[in-house]
Structure 1
Amino acid sequence: MKSIRKIIQIDEDKCDGCGLCVPSCAEGAIQVIDGKARLVAEKYCDGLGACLGECPKDALKVVDAEVDAFNEEAAKKHVRKTKEGTAAHPHGPAAGMHTAREHGPGLHMAGAEETMACGCPSTLMQSFAPQIPQTACEKANIPVARAASGLSALTHWPVQITLVPPTAPFLRGADLLVASDCTPFAYPRFHDELLRGKTLLVGCPKLDDVEEYVKKFAAIFATAGIKSVTVVVMEVPCCQGLPVIVRKGMAQAGKSVPIGVATISVRGEML
């Protein structure tokens, strides 16, 4: 039954899909779908606006609208179902994830009520500690297979330049590693020698949108307080545009940040 009450409204033009609003909603009413924050179902939103303060783009607001009544029991059931689905599919989006659609004036909905809208894991920002053994005992007890292959030095997600918003918390005051997306495959010591202690951004200067990259780096340098930049490229000619892109973004932001370039051969050697 519909009635006029308070409910969250999401401005798609302002939303950059960072996902910071998602964990602040205890009812699971918001998920990132197709790169944008979406209201999963009207009945899951209590209209209290706990998510408002988490949006760096000011894309959320509470409005009065004729919508379905808030259903606390349905919201609890939805949260349980979402958690169960995440546990069952930890490495990918949930089955049945729908494309976003609109219901009502300005109220952006996604999927049917029975659909488990877990959002897109590629755009949900996460920060986590690198897998680094701390004590002498921990280091001595690393399994041989792991010691030989090395441990992941990645501390955050996402890593694709296109998907990382300039306001991402892990960018603040970071030592940035900007890598062409072939380099981690070519260089066997990528994590230990290049990535450890740095924040990673990955992209392809040949296949991706160069101008959008320049704009993204300009925004990052303007807002994130980057300390240093290391650009890692392959020796092939098409890779050489990546340092140029980074420098252009830095210039547009009016910043001067120390920058270094490392080049990897197609045989996996540091040149």
Structure 2
Amino acid sequence: MKRTIIKIDEELCNGCGNCVPNCHEGALQIIDGKARLISDLFCDGLGACIGHCPEGAITMEEREAEPYDEIKVMELMVPKGRNTILAHLEHLRDHNETELLKQAINYIKENKVDMSPKNDEHVHKHTNSHAQPQAFNNLNEARAAVTPPSSGCGGGCPGSKAIDFNIDLNKVNEAASQVKVMPETVASADAPSELRQWPVQLHLLNPQAGYFKNADVVLAADCVAFSMGNFHNQYLKGKTLAIACPK
């Protein structure tokens, strides 16, 4: 399949190894003095390692690659201990990869992985050196992160945070069918939004986000919603949206 995956420029790589501990999935190793991607299976394409390369040797590219396999990653990660597992769960949470997060948590439960805390451990997550890392304290907190918040602001720029609104459209339609609306009120009723995810701007979207999985995608000019009164109901309903200016 064609997907986003890391690319290492061997000319720029100096073999410092800074990227290795910041790839919690275990996709990177230093071999013959250079960072190597040991398997496409272990690279989730989210780029946690990029900011830790002092030489700028790691970039992202789109190419044919084996699909990322969360179960194989967990099999590789469990022997590394609780801290590595927690950092990986945070990584998935931070990128709104709820489906992969569910798979990881199910693996932990089904295989009875010991997640008890140890006093001499400190959880590290990929972040800048000035920020204080915040970790899950236990598996329940990780499980709670599977369901994204449905409202409120998480801080920072909302345009860069991936959110899946996760609306159960069947329940909405079922409830709507039980409501009797007088004909004269139909025209004046507020039309509900059919938007299912955030962000929507093309340059902010992560193609690996969970809301793209098996989804029908509407690509629209950013002025369309203002030009077409029935855009939500006619084109957007049940689909994932990407908008951009065609100029």
Provide TM-score, normalisation by structure 1. Answer: 0.36
Whose strand proportion is higher, 1 or 2?
Answer: 1
Whose helix proportion is higher, 1 or 2?
Answer: 2
